Structure formats: structure tokens, C-alpha cells
Amino acid sequence: MVAAILPVVRGQTQDFTVSCPPLVAIVPNQNYVFKPTIILYQNFVEQGAELFIGGTGFSINSTVSVYVKQQWDISAIVVAFETERNGTFLQSIHVGDNMHVGAIYDVWGIDKATGTQARVVSVQVIAPRTTSSSLSGSRVMWIYHYLEWYAQNKQQVDSLIQFADATYDQYARDFGFSLNPLTVQVTNEGDNMSRLYVGWASGTTIGFSANLISNDYLARSFISHEMANVFQGNITGGWPWADAKGIWNQISQKAQKDNYPSPFPYAASARVLQELGYGNYSQVKLDKVTGDCGVSLLWAIYEKFGWSPYTTLFNYLRQQHVNLSNYDDETATAIIMVFMSAGTGYDYISLFNEVFNMRGVNIQQSKISEVYNMFTGLPSISNLQPTEIQVTNTSIPIPEYSDYLLPLLVLLVVPVLLKGKHYRFQA
């Protein structure tokens, strides 16, 4: 059943508020245990795939040199990873032809600040499955390599195939355009990956780690999130609110160590889950980002005006042949603000800046004027109507749609760009 969500009728009495509280300052943890530990999430890794490497207990805001060496060999692959404000990191390396099938590789890390070495952990490289099978929905084709994976999870996979098709149709209605059929590429079927879920989007393909099948909320959340990236990525690349560049990184976090890096696809996913009748799952996502200014801003716009401001933006980007990848973060954000304002007659310029100001950033009027004058045929932005969306520095929950919340423990969300793909990790 599809639940229709309509924008509030103009004149209807209802408060719409963006919650943008101050960042939670990090207080040094007197009980912080410095104990560098390397974590491997896979028992095996296929040649040609990604080896995911995590670390905990390292020096805060420092660098870790990670070594990957075949046992009994003298040479090693060395990569440097930056730690977060809580002493953790999560990254990946590509397992190329230089890492041999059947070989066992030792992985360890050295904390740059102290010289302390984390103990060695090991992983074996296995041959990739060269044959693939496909499952076709009406809109989305699923490609997988392990027949046993589908056989063991047939009921859930078939349900997700229907869900992916419904999600495609919902985005097509909401965004106002369709795409060529999409592909879901199932990954990590043979590596026994645990404690980590991986999703990515590239072109018209969505990556979906096989272990997501064990968690219905995460599976549907990842599909709807990455499909938002696919749809907006086919309008233009370089979305500052997709990979949280610059300003959006500053506002799209609720604490200095807790970052949700993709406010638009995150909010769009919550909206589409709600529209498809998964209100409980939508609320789980929203509850997790209470205090995230970026998601709260975009959600408040949805709630008051529906999809119209966003479809207007998409249409103007296409009409003006804009590729946001050609601009820096500030200019790309200013283009979004100008197009949404000019196209709707509402003052999103002031609304966005009011939220930005809560985190000490601002897009100057000179930049807005510069961007407006870059394009021809835009309606005037001189006499815009106020959105009447309020902005507060108080932490308030995003409005609830269900009293029943599924329990979910999320330990880490880390954004990474690898080989042109938008990766999303959840551990």
C-alpha cells in the first residue's frame, strides 16, 4: 500500500521548524583507552573486490599507517588513513592482481603519533566468481554471483525486488522524471562480512552488500538512500548536500564526532519510505538525526511544500544545463538557493542562510548576486515571500509519524569516495 503524503495547504495552521542546535563540544574522555586495534570485517576477500579495514583506539585526529603484506613476503602495501575525533577510522583498499589468489595477507597498523603498532590480523584472497545470475523486476535488475545466496534468502530477496521497483516508481513520481532501468549489484556474497554494511551508487547502479539481507530496515533504507543518489546524480554531479562538502559538512552533524554526511539523500530516503508505507522505518531514520541541521532543514521544506521546491530546482538545473561539479561548494550551494527561490517565489536564500548562521557559516549577498547574474531568464529574486519556516537552536525531534520505533544500534557511519562511487558504510 502506498501512503500519499501531501504538502500542507497554504494558510493551514501548523508550525514548521528547523532544529539546529550548537555542536556538542568534545570533552576529553578521562577513561579513553589508547589501544590501537585493526579490524577486518571479512574472513575472505575476492580478488577485484574491496578489503574493508577499520581501526579503534588510535590517537585522536591523527594518522595510521596500515600495512598489508603477504605472509613470507618482504614487500608490503602501505596506505595512510586519518583517524576521526574518537580515534577510529574505516576505509578500504582495492584487491588488485598484485594480491594473489590463495595467499594469506597480514594487516597491521602503526599509530603515527606514538609509534605504537596494532597487532596483526589476517585475511585470505579468494578467486572471484566469474559467472553471474540476474533477477529482473519491472524497473530494477539484480545481479548476483552466488546461487546459494539467493536460494537461502529467496523470500526476502523477492520482497526487496518488489520494494526496489516501488521505490523507483515513487522517485519517478516525486522527482518528475524517469531513468533507464537500474541495476542492483549484490557484493560481498562470499566473504562472510559481518559488523559492516556497504552501499554505493554509481551511474545507474546501486551496490548492495549481501549481508544487508539479514536486516530488513537497513536493506530498505540503503536501497531508498542510494536510489536518491542515482536519481539526483542523473540530473547533475557535484551535489554539495550529497557528500556533505564544506558548508553542508559543517551543518550536517549533531556533534563534533557524529556526522551524517548526505543530508539530501538521507531526508529523501526517509520521505520515500514514508510514502511507501514504511512509516516506522522512516521514523527510525529521523530519530537518528535529531539535531542534524541539514536533514532538519530539508525535511521541514518537504513537510511544508512537498517535493515542489526540489522538482523546481531540478528543472532549472536542466534548463540552464548546469553541472554542479564545475563549481566549488559555496557556489554550488548558492546555485541551489537561487534556483529554488527564483523558481518558487519563496525566500530559500534567507532560510538556508539562517540555518548556516547557526553553525557560523554564511553565503554572502555578493555571492548570491554573482550566481544570479551567471544565468539568463531567471525570475526576479527581489521580492520573495518568506517561507515562514522557523529556525531554532533548540534540539527538538523531527515530527513523529509512529509511536512504534524499531530498536537499532548504529555504531559508525563513514563517508568515503572510492573510484567514482558514492560509498556508504554502516557498522
- Is 145 strand, coil or helix? coil
Query: b or e along 350-382 (b: 16 or more beta carbons within 10 Å of the residue's beta carbon)?
Result: ebbbbbbebbebebeeebbeebbeebeebeebe
Q: Are residues 119 and 140 in the same domain?
A: no
Does the residue 213 lie in any domain? yes
Tell me how long the chain is.
Answer: 427
Q: Are residues 120 and 147 in the same domain?
A: no
Does the residue 10 lie in any domain? no
Does the residue 147 lie in any domain? yes
Q: DSSP alpha helices (H): ranges in 190-276? A: 216-233, 247-251, 263-275
Higher pLDDT, 80 or 85: 80
Confidence (pLDDT) at 246: 79
Place of cell 559492516: 196
Does pLDDT of 183 surpass 80? yes
Does the residue 299 lie in any domain? no
Confidence (pLDDT) at 164: 98
53, 39 contact by CB (below 8 A):
yes
Residue range 132-161: average pLDDT?
Answer: 96
Q: Are residues 154 and 189 in the same domain?
A: yes
Confidence (pLDDT) at 417: 32
Q: From 151, 281, 275, select the one nearest 213 (Cα to Cα).
A: 151
Does the residue 255 lie in any domain? no
Cell of 193: 562480512
The domain of 223 spans: 133-234
Q: Give 194-205 pLDDT, tens digit per residue.
A: 889 998 899 999
Residue range 53-67: average pLDDT?
Answer: 94
Q: Are residues 165 and 214 in the same domain?
A: yes
d(CA 250, CA 254): 9
Q: Give 285-339 pLDDT, tens digit per residue.
A: 999 888 889 999 999 999 999 999 999 999 999 999 999 999 999 999 999 999 9
Q: Are residues 101 and 55 in the same domain?
A: yes
Q: Are residues 140 and 210 in the same domain?
A: yes
Confidence (pLDDT) at 9: 40
Does pLDDT of 257 surpass 80? no
Lowest mean pLDDT among 48-52, 104-108, 177-181, 246-250: 246-250
Query: b or e along 86-124 (b: 16 or more beta carbons within 10 Å of the residue's beta carbon)?
Result: bbbbbbbbebeeebeeeeebbbbbbbbeeeeebeeeebe
231, 140 contact by CB (below 8 A):
no
End of a domain among 76, 94, 126? 126
Does the residue 359 lie in any domain? no
Residue range 261-288: average pLDDT?
Answer: 94
Higher pLDDT, 125 or 412: 125
- 109: domain CATH number is 2.60.40.10
End of a domain among 187, 203, 234? 234
Q: How far is CA 37 from CA 68, 206, 246, 284, in A?
A: 15, 31, 30, 31
Q: Are residues 84 and 105 in the same domain?
A: yes
Residue range 104-133: average pLDDT?
Answer: 95
> DSSP string spanning 351-384?
HHHHHHHHTT----HHHHHHHHTTSSSPPP-SSP
Residue range 393-403: average pLDDT?
Answer: 54
Q: Are residues 161 and 180 in the same domain?
A: yes
> DSSP string spanning 380-410?
P-SSPBP---EEESS--PPPPS-S-------
Does pLDDT of 15 surpass 60? yes
46, 128 contact by CB (below 8 A):
yes
245, 12 contact by CB (below 8 A):
no
175, 310 contact by CB (below 8 A):
yes
Band of residue 243 on the pLDDT scale cut at 50, 70, 90: confident
Band of residue 61 on the pLDDT scale cut at 50, 70, 90: confident
> DSSP string spanning 291-348?
T-HHHHHHHHHHHHHTTHHHHHHHHHHHHTT--GGGS-HHHHHHHHHHHHHHHHSB-H
Cell of 55: 581501526
Q: Are residues 193 and 116 in the same domain?
A: no
End of a domain among 126, 151, 185? 126
Q: Are residues 105 and 144 in the same domain?
A: no
Does the residue 220 lie in any domain? yes
Does pLDDT of 112 surpass 70? yes
Task: Count the domains in the chain.
Answer: 2
Lowest mean pLDDT among 19-28, 33-42, 73-82, 125-134: 19-28
Rounded to the nearest integer, the mean pLDDT of the chain is: 86
- 218: domain CATH number is 1.10.390.10
Lowest mean pLDDT among 183-192, 201-210, 254-263, 294-303: 254-263
Residue range 267-275: average pLDDT?
Answer: 97
Confidence (pLDDT) at 421: 54
Cell of 217: 530496515
Q: DSSP alpha helices (H): ranges in 110-193? A: 147-152, 154-175
Portion of the chain with pLDDT greater than 90, in percent: 71
Angle among Cα 337, 338, 342 to the nearest 5 degrees reads 120
Q: What is the pTM of this model?
A: 0.86
d(CA 350, CA 143): 45
Does the residue 208 lie in any domain? yes
CA 292 from centre of chain: 14
